[in-house]
A and B are shown apart, each in its own frame.
Chain A
């Protein structure tokens, strides 16, 4: 049985063009925040008009926070845009890795070779983790460029790095959850539905739990809490929060292997 990385490399090669476009798009979006921050930070500095509850839902304690680079990036980028982009990318890659490949007939051809399902799954998962990381690194690099460019000289490089790591871990978690869903079901539509619903539901619970007391205990159930709950851009990574995300990654990967190894391929 082959133990080499042929499938890993082939997967990355076939997806390289798409990854390039994603990187350009993500870099452009992050770049916009770098460009507009100097202009609007002054505006937010005097503003008291935004409702506190609304801001709290995005992890901001008061409007004054928006005048700081950390507050601005938390509200504008790390709460919604960046995780949404990475999650959409990682989920699509995760579902494509198994269920999409089965539907296209590619899986049948791969498995006609002397390789195991586990091998294919491990290589495809590794490719998803690497390309998701690449997008996270692009965001990190663009935002970090704002420090030497004097956009936010006071922003801590180390805190930004930790927030980016936390962001990548969130992308990995949803990517492996998507692999898990497609490993269990073999069905792209069903996998998208389940993971999409889970992402939206947990996002809303996490956001609302900060102002709706009834939901407060459920925060612990959402991956978003472990991504942004400790406000890594300000406080750095809380290590056990990251470990929870790692546990989600490892657990859903193992479940995917177990299920995919046992079931029938979903062939047309």
Chain B
């Protein structure tokens, strides 16, 4: 345990004067990772990661397989011990303080529930360990995910087992939910339900940290993303900022001759593919200069596609080159 004085978790019951921390607990971030390193004997691991997950946000850890997402989560949760640095939940160093996990829900990336007991029995056991039994919420979550709570766990398929794991992560309404590859193995319908639940969690002021190697997922639900590359933090970005920088494809049909050169000269235009009187134009960042430039021509049609973040993300991995694709 760290020897520095740390603010106590709020506890039910009388609070002694020594317990009243000078810092207002409610202003502390849900998770504060500071210079965290975990280097394994083979040299792999995570190196000097620092990031903060603010309350009420959905934070993504994005990276290819083997980048260190799971190692980060396991170190943060005190399953493995950091070689340097510290992770604080709501201001409290997680190491040696299991009580902080009362406010945390967790879904492991590799969920191997092979017990003879049913999902309901297992969830009952887990909720006793969390000191929080809320069957109304638990049943509601089970129904939303279509989880079969009455079948022995070992008879369930991987996807159905993960549904039980998701119920376990959310059933005590934790202030912070940490999910390692939450949608792996889920069918598209359950995946949609999961995205809704995560968004609702944020709406209720609670926090979600999820890891993923699937870009569209991160793009869809996360507010911010930490991009991890070979155990190091490549960037922390707001999804909105990435989108504003991202390449957007526009399809423009002109009534007259295509003003190809005029299009190429517009700020932000990266590429023009001419095809008769129509053009596919790729724009980086704001499309405003292009729209203003187009105003002097007669346009018959204008189709804008969703910005594609893939290239934005890949640019973080281009150096080095031998990493897996995002």
* Chain A contacts to B: CB under 8 angstroms: 1-2, 4, 6-7, 10, 13-14, 17, 104-106, 108-116, 119, 262-265, 267-268
Bound-complex Cα distance A37 to B115 (A): 42
> Is B220 interfacial (CB 8 A cutoff)?
no
A22 to chain B, nearest CB (A): 16
> Is B101 interfacial (CB 8 A cutoff)?
yes
Report whether A2 and B128 are in contact in the complex, using a CB–CB cutoff of 8 Å: yes
Q: Known interface pairs A6-B125, A14-B116, A104-B114. Does A112 touch B101 (Cβ–Cβ under 8 Å)?
A: yes
Nearest first, the 9 closest Cβ-Cβ pairs linking A and B are A112-B106, A264-B80, A113-B129, A114-B102, A105-B112, A265-B79, A114-B101, A116-B98, A6-B128
Chain B residues positioned under 8 Å from A13 (CB to CB): 117
Bound-complex Cα distance A103 to B71 (A): 16
Known: A112-B106, A114-B99. 4 other contacts (CB 8 A): A109-B113, A109-B126, A114-B98, A114-B102
Chain A residues positioned under 8 Å from B128 (CB to CB): 2, 4, 6
Report whether B129 and A7 are in contact in the complex, using a CB–CB cutoff of 8 Å: yes
Query: Within B155-186, which residues are at the interface with A (CB < 8 Å)?
Result: 168
> Is B77 interfacial (CB 8 A cutoff)?
yes
Report whether A265 and B115 are in contact in the complex, using a CB–CB cutoff of 8 Å: no
Chain B residues positioned under 8 Å from A114 (CB to CB): 98-102, 129-131
> Is B111 interfacial (CB 8 A cutoff)?
yes
> Is B151 interfacial (CB 8 A cutoff)?
no
Bound-complex Cα distance A143 to B81 (A): 50
Report the tally of A-B residue pairs with Cβ distances under 8 A.
74
Q: Known interface pairs A1-B99, A108-B79. Does A14 touch B117 (Cβ–Cβ under 8 Å)?
A: yes
Q: Known interface pairs A2-B128, A114-B98. Does A264 touch B114 (Cβ–Cβ under 8 Å)?
A: no
Report whether A267 and B129 are in contact in the complex, using a CB–CB cutoff of 8 Å: no
Report whether A268 and B110 are in contact in the complex, using a CB–CB cutoff of 8 Å: yes
Chain A residues positioned under 8 Å from B110 (CB to CB): 105, 268
**20 CB-based A-B contacts, threshold 8 Å:** A2-B129, A6-B129, A13-B117, A17-B116, A104-B114, A105-B108, A105-B113, A108-B108, A109-B111, A111-B98, A112-B105, A112-B106, A114-B100, A114-B101, A114-B102, A116-B98, A264-B79, A264-B80, A264-B81, A268-B110
* Chain B contacts to A: CB under 8 angstroms: 74, 77-81, 98-102, 104-106, 108, 110-117, 125-126, 128-131, 168
Chain A residues positioned under 8 Å from B116 (CB to CB): 14, 17
Partner of B129, one of A14, A110, A262: A110
Partner of A113, one of B78, B81, B130: B130
Report whether A262 and B81 are in contact in the complex, using a CB–CB cutoff of 8 Å: yes
CB-nearest residue of chain A to B172: A113
Report whether A115 and B111 are in contact in the complex, using a CB–CB cutoff of 8 Å: no
Bound-complex Cα distance A106 to B110 (A): 11
Report whether A113 and B79 are in contact in the complex, using a CB–CB cutoff of 8 Å: no
Chain A residues positioned under 8 Å from B104 (CB to CB): 112
Bound-complex Cα distance A268 to B111 (A): 11
Partner of A14, one of B98, B108, B115: B115
Report whether A2 and B111 are in contact in the complex, using a CB–CB cutoff of 8 Å: no
Chain B residues positioned under 8 Å from A119 (CB to CB): 98
Report whether B112 and A112 are in contact in the complex, using a CB–CB cutoff of 8 Å: no
* Most chain A CB within a 10 A radius of its CB, from B108, B114, B129, B131: B129
Bound-complex Cα distance A258 to B126 (A): 25
CB-nearest residue of chain B to A110: B129
Bound-complex Cα distance A10 to B78 (A): 24
Chain A residues positioned under 8 Å from B98 (CB to CB): 1, 111, 113-116, 119
Bound-complex Cα distance A108 to B81 (A): 14
CB-nearest residue of chain A to B102: A114
Bound-complex Cα distance A268 to B117 (A): 23
Chain A residues positioned under 8 Å from B130 (CB to CB): 113-114
Bound-complex Cα distance A113 to B79 (A): 12
Bound-complex Cα distance A110 to B128 (A): 11
Chain A residues positioned under 8 Å from B129 (CB to CB): 2, 6-7, 110, 113-115
Chain A residues positioned under 8 Å from B111 (CB to CB): 105, 109
Chain B residues positioned under 8 Å from A4 (CB to CB): 128
Chain A residues positioned under 8 Å from B77 (CB to CB): 111-112
Bound-complex Cα distance A213 to B108 (A): 57
Chain B residues positioned under 8 Å from A108 (CB to CB): 74, 79, 108
Bound-complex Cα distance A113 to B77 (A): 10
A261 to chain B, nearest CB (A): 9
Chain A residues positioned under 8 Å from B106 (CB to CB): 109, 112
B85 to chain A, nearest CB (A): 15
